[in-house]
């Protein structure tokens, strides 16, 4: 009986859910460029940021076959840094398919019959972005390795192919990423959006990182908040209510207090960010 109780407690801590069971979690990670060299600003972070996201998801209990990774030309980057090497870290490569407009549409089509009403969906996009029109909040996200682009309205259409879920969150790291907020600001959609900047701002690399690796600022602070530690293992103060897990509202607050080069944004039409733990 004691062993069973210990196992149940460990399961609850891992999942952050009630005794009714550990709800399945699915994730789509999209890094819309192809890295060819280590330690190059506005280049290498497309791989380094992806690794931090993948590591965070595995730490939080996402299964390997529930994480869909769209990256560059479809092949993991052969980094010389062991702490960002997928095979060294996880024992396997992580890329599911190359990034293309067709594949972005297809991955959500593939997930549509898999994600059920008890499941959580986590979506992350890393890439270049452009805004359009003075005073407007339209966002166009580039797929740099193909020359294609995906508009904010198109992206919502793709994501909405997954029509059933318990909750979902969208994290976007691009210049002008705040342009995504209004698209998902739909009451009753149980959706939280975290964006790296206002729709008028650019987004930038982090001015410093614990290990000297180039990282996008938002993509450095967000997984650090959710993991409650930085890539070097130092604890960070993101769990402000000290309950042992970090909500998306706490994540946004950590982003806002840590980022200095742009202004992170939160979209939360149903006021669920405080009780949503990816």
- Residue 127 buriedness (CB in 10 A; 0-12 / 13-18 / 19+): buried
Question: End-to-end distance of the chain based on CA atoms, in angstroms?
Answer: 30
* Residue whose pair of structure tokens reads 């972070």 in the numeric block: 45
pLDDT of residue 136: 74
pLDDT of residue 172: 98
| Domain annotation for the chain: domains and CATH numbers | 24-275 (3.40.50.1460)
pLDDT of residue 132: 67
What string of DSSP letters covers 74-133?
Answer: SS----S-GGG-HHHHHSS----B---HHHHHHHHHHHTTT--TT-EEEEEEES-EEEES
User: d(Cα 42, Cα 39) in Å, to the nearest integer?
Assistant: 9
In degrees rounded to 5, what are phi and psi of residue 125?
-125, 135
pLDDT in tens, 46-87: 999 999 999 999 999 999 999 999 999 999 999 999 999 999
pLDDT in tens, 186-210: 999 999 999 999 999 999 999 999 9
pLDDT of residue 23: 61
Length of the chain (residues): 278
pLDDT of residue 3: 46
pLDDT of residue 131: 86
Which parts of the chain register pLDDT below 50? 1-14, 16-21
What residues form DSSP beta bridges with 71?
A: 31
Query: Cα 114 to chain center, whole Å?
Result: 20
pTM of this structure: 0.92
């Amino acid at each position: 009986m004691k062993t069973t109780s210990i196992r149940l407690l460990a399961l609850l801590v891992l999942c952050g859910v009630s005794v009714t069971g550990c709800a399945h979690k699915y994730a789509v990670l999209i890094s819309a460029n192809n890295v060819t060299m280590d330690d190059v600003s506005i280049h290498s972070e497309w791989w380094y940021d992806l690794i931090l996201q993948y590591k965070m998801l595995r730490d939080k209990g996402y299964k390997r076959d529930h994480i869909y990774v769209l990256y560059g030309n479809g092949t993991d980057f052969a980094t010389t840094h062991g702490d960002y090497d997928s095979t060294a870290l996880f024992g396997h490569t992580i890329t599911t398919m190359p990034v293309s407009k067709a594949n972005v549409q297809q991955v959500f089509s593939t997930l549509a019959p898999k994600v059920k009403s008890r499941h959580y969906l986590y979506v992350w996009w890393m890439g270049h972005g452009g805004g359009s029109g003075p005073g407007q909040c339209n966002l166009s996200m580039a797929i740099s390795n193909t020359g294609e682009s995906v508009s904010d309205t198109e992206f919502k259409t793709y994501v909405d192919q997954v029509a059933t879920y318990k909750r979902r969150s969208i994290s976007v790291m691009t210049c002008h990423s705040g342009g995504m907020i209004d698209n998902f600001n739909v009451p009753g959609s149980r959706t939280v959006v975290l964006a790296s900047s206002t729709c008028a701002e650019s987004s930038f690399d982090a001015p410093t990182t614990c290990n000297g690796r180039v990282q996008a600022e938002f993509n450095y602070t967000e997984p650090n908040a959710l993991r409650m530690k930085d890539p070097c293992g130092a604890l960070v103060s993101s769990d402000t209510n000290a309950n042992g897990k970090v909500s998306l509202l706490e994540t946004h607050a950590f982003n806002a207090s840590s980022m200095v080069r742009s202004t992170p944004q939160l979209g939360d039409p149903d006021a669920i960010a405080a009780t949503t733990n990816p």
